[in-house]
């Protein structure tokens, strides 16, 4: 039995929980849009063609924002193709995913969908094959009240009120050789700054995201962030991070500890951004948009796009079927994001439906929750109030990639208004349970509201259309204690959420 001791103190506050931390991502990729969120003719489809069963699951998931329309797709996308009468929209070749884009679903459909889903939009502009003028045109179409050509076009297309989109991504992964329109850091930084300046002439209060490195392993990582921010520091508000995780060489111990990599990534980019700010003698802080993250089996066959003369419409792509182990990793990554809530102000799990997604659908059939749905939904629902700085000590576990690390990782939130303290924990030891003692300094626990666990049994179990609840959270009855101390047992390789009713007794 491993042991861990956590100390929680309502006075040791990191930052308010950013509600945009629980964002998602819809890209025109595979079946994310077509037969995912949008399937006219489906038994549950509404008048707009949106699947009501998927909308219900999106609301249950607790998503707060959705980034659109890409992703790699955006770097050769013409937004004008996706507005106006559907039967007049042109079909185009999607160079990112070697597919045929019908444009039956575009900006206006997306904005109607986010309204029904109850989420806020994050819009990406094409800085791959297009530039400043097209970005400003899109902004005018989306956000101007009327009286101009593009705003009146939106009104004619049925959206009388402006969309009021506030958060905009200036391109996507512009350092990547796979990206249509790849640029050097200096080229991209200057274009991002120029585009940001133009967009702010329309609305100075927009929030703008510059592209960071596509992942931590890029050969230009670090220098890319430095050079982009040297050009665009005064003109942008956030810089993006992207990271995907999968087991490497069957090293499941390192996979369960993927949050170690995310922690280091966030800390590194924060340091680089602050160094650029220091050189500029700026008091401004560049925040982080971790606007793509998830488990993704990139070497698996479903991640291989079509090729040659084959340009199918919405082919099945990146349709990973997630295991219990994947759910534990996702829970750990959410812990990392919460732990850095003082600098990570937005994040998007990629993606929402079918494509490396928590929600899966059958064409014309059912929709169901994947294993990774559950830690996301529970965290989004119960991480409320303020993130607390958790002091950890205890047993370690050995990983091939990260060496000796804490066996138990954890973060906590404290809600002053409800008196609820929630603790999210991962036991990263593959075979050894952990006995955890939680010292609640400065608070008095009166009640254990709930304790649920994912994992600790068959790490390879998956949910399916026929068995959608094979790997659902189960009650953890080991939680006990009150007043200033609570104890619980974590099964090996597991994610757990513990909810406590507490009273702040700090002076």
Q: Which of 382, 397, 420 is the endpoint of a domain?
A: 382
CATH number where 483 lies: 2.60.40.1180
236 and 122 share one domain: yes
Q: Are residues 413 and 364 in the same domain?
A: no
Question: Which pLDDT score is estimated for 442?
Answer: 87
Residue-range definition of the domain harbouring residue 391: 2-10+386-504
- Stated as kind and residue range, the H or E segment containing 4 is strand 2-8
**CA–CA separation, 252 and 250 (whole Å):** 6
Indicate the Cα dihedral angle 363, 367, 368, 373, nearest 10°.
100
Assess whether 39 carries a catalytic annotation. Answer: no
pLDDT given for residue 26 in this prediction: 98
Same domain, 300 and 443: no
Same domain, 377 and 397: no
pLDDT tens, position by position, for the chain (507 residues)? 999 999 999 999 999 999 999 999 999 999 999 999 999 999 999 999 999 999 999 999 999 999 999 999 999 999 999 999 999 999 999 999 999 999 999 999 999 999 999 999 999 999 999 999 999 999 999 999 999 999 999 999 999 999 999 999 999 999 999 999 999 999 999 999 999 999 999 999 999 999 999 999 999 999 999 999 999 999 999 999 999 999 999 999 999 999 999 999 999 999 999 999 999 999 999 999 999 999 999 988 777 889 999 999 999 999 999 999 999 999 999 999 999 999 999 999 999 999 999 999 999 999 999 999 999 999 999 999 999 999 999 999 999 999 999 999 999 999 999 999 999 999 999 999 999 999 998 889 999 999 999 998 899 999 999 999 888 999 999 999 989 999 999 999 999 999 999 998 887
Catalytic residue among 27, 80, 109, 173: 173
- Matching residue, tokens 């990570």: 344
Asked whether residue 247 falls in the same domain as residue 358, the answer is: yes
Residues 32 and 66 in one domain: yes
Last residue of a domain, one of 321, 356, 382: 382
- Say if residue 362 is in the same domain as residue 404: no
Please, which residues have CB within 8 angstroms of residue 88's CB and are 6 or more apart in sequence? none
The CATH number for 208's domain is 3.20.20.80
Q: Final residue of a domain: which of 334, 359, 382?
A: 382
Identify whether 140 is a catalytic site residue. no
Based on the structure, what is the number of domains in the chain?
2
| Residues 436 and 487 sit within 8 Å (Cβ to Cβ) | yes
Q: Where do the H-state alpha helices sit in 149-207?
A: 149-156, 185-202
How many residues in the chain?
507
pLDDT of residue 456: 81
Residue 393 and residue 290 share a domain:
no
Q: Residue 202 has what pLDDT? A: 97
The answer to whether residues 378 and 422 belong to one domain is: no
| Distance (Å) of CA 339 to CA 257, 380, 386, 387, 406 | 15, 14, 11, 7, 15
391 and 372 inside one domain: no
Look at strands 65-68 and 120-125 and give their pairing.
parallel
Is residue 319 located within the same domain as residue 453?
no
Q: Are 247 and 170 found together in one domain?
A: yes
Q: What is the pLDDT of residue 31?
A: 98
């Amino acid at each position: 039995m491993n042991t861990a001791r956590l100390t929680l103190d309502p006075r040791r506050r990191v930052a308010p929980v950013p509600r945009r931390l629980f964002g998602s991502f819809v890209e025109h990729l595979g079946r994310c849009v077509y037969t995912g969120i949008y399937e006219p003719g489906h038994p549950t489809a509404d008048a707009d063609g949106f699947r009501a069963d998927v909308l219900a699951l999106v609301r249950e998931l607790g998503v707060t924002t959705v980034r659109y329309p890409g992703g790699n797709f955006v770097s050769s996308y013409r937004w004008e193709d996706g507005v106006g009468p559907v039967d007049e929209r042109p079909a185009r070749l999607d160079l990112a995913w070697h597919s045929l884009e019908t444009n039956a679903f575009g900006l206006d459909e997306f904005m109607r969908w986010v309204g029904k889903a109850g989420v806020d939009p994050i819009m990406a502009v094409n800085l791959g094959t297009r530039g400043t003028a097209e970005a400003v045109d899109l902004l005018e179409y989306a956000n101007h009240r009327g009286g101009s050509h593009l705003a009146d076009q939106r009104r004619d297309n049925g959206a009388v009120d402006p969309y009021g989109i506030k958060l905009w991504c200036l391109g996507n992964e512009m350092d990547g050789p796979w990206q249509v329109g790849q640029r050097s850091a200096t080229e991209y930084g200057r274009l991002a700054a120029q585009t940001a300046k133009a967009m702010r002439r329309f609305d100075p209060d927009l929030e703008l995201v510059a592209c960071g490195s596509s992942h931590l392993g890029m050969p230009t990582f670090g220098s890319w962030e430095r050079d982009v921010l040297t050009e665009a520091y005064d003109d942008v508000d956030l810089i993006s991070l992207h990271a995907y995780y999968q087991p490497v060489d069957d090293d499941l111990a390192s996979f369960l500890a993927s949050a170690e990599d995310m922690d280091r990534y966030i800390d590194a980019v924060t340091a680089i951004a602050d160094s650029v700010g220091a050189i500029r003698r700026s008091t401004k802080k560049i925040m982080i948009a971790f606007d793509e993250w998830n488990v993704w089996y990139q070497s698996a066959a479903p991640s291989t796009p079509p090729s040659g003369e084959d340009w199918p419409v919405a082919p099945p792509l990146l349709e990973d079927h997630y295991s219990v182990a994947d759910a534990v990793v996702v829970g750990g990554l959410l812990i990392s994001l919460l732990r850095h809530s003082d600098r990570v102000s937005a994040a998007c799990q990629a993606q929402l439906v079918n494509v490396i997604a928590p929600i899966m659908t059958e064409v014309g059939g059912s929709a169901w929750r994947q294993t990774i749905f559950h830690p996301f939904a529970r965290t989004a629902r119960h991480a409320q109030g303020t993130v607390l700085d958790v002091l950890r000590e205890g047993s370690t576990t050995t990983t091939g990639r990260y060496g000796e690390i804490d066996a138990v990782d954890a973060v906590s939130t404290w809600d002053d208004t409800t008196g609820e303290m929630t603790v999210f924990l991962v036991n990263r030891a593959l075979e050894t349970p952990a006995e955890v003692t939680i010292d609640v300094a400065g608070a008095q626990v009166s009640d254990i509201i709930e304790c649920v666990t994912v994992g600790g049994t068959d790490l390879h179990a998956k949910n399916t259309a026929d068995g959608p609840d094979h790997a659902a959270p189960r009650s953890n009855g080991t939680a006990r204690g009150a007043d200033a101390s609570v104890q619980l047992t974590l099964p090996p390789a597991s994610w757990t959420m513990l909810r406590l009713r507490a009273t702040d007794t700090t002076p």
